[in-house]
Amino acid sequence: MSRAAVPGLPSRHPIGEQLPALYADDDFAQRFTAGLDTVLAPVFTTLDNLPAYLDPRVTPADFLSWLASWVGGVDDPRWPLALRREAVARAVELHRRRGTRRGLVEALHLVLGVRADVSGDGGATWSDTPGAEPPPPPADEVLVRVWPDREGPVDADRVRALVRTLCPVHTVCRVEVLPGPPAAALEEGDDVA
């Protein structure tokens, strides 16, 4: 799609019609303003449709990367257009859950088409009782197990890169790529998304 001048695109607000009555019958003034209308018609059309440019579901495809940069979304031109649109549309929702198990599982599914199970939290511990013994330290590692959900194999390097990007800095994340869903995760059903 192009936002350049479109031949024959009429202006919704012709300048010639807005001139004082003195110039209404002036051939030169009408031709001159018609030339300006030709230049300004795409601008008016773009401004009239501005909400559509800011909606990732209908924005022109070449505008999607710019829109993704506005919301901090992930956009990869190699992805199918529908996936790119969904990633931008859900960017704010994913940012709200960033650093959580659910956020990591949803991002892995959206971006890479894999299912995931996250165990361990890599978090901090505390006690709300003054003077109490400190609680035991948390597990040092977060285990992220992934398996394919869409067609094709799982790209382990892309999974590791995305996990590294989305996990909190203070956590150590280990990634395991499985050929299918783990049996324990299927029985529990809680942590599998």
Q: What is the pLDDT of residues 139-159, one digit of tens each?
A: 678 889 999 887 778 889 989
Per-residue pLDDT, averaged over 22-39, amounts to 91
- 92 or 183, which is more confident: 92
Please give the mean pLDDT across all residues of the chain.
83
Q: Which of 60, 113, 114 is nearest to 85 (CA)?
A: 60
- The count of domains in the chain is 2
Distance CA 79, CA 134 (A): 48
CA angle at 170 for the pair 138 and 127, rounded to the nearest 5°: 40
74 domain residue, yes or no: no
* pTM of the model as a whole: 0.62
44 and 107 in a single domain? The answer is: no
Domain membership flag for residue 68: no
Which structural domain, as residue segments, surrounds residue 22? 18-48
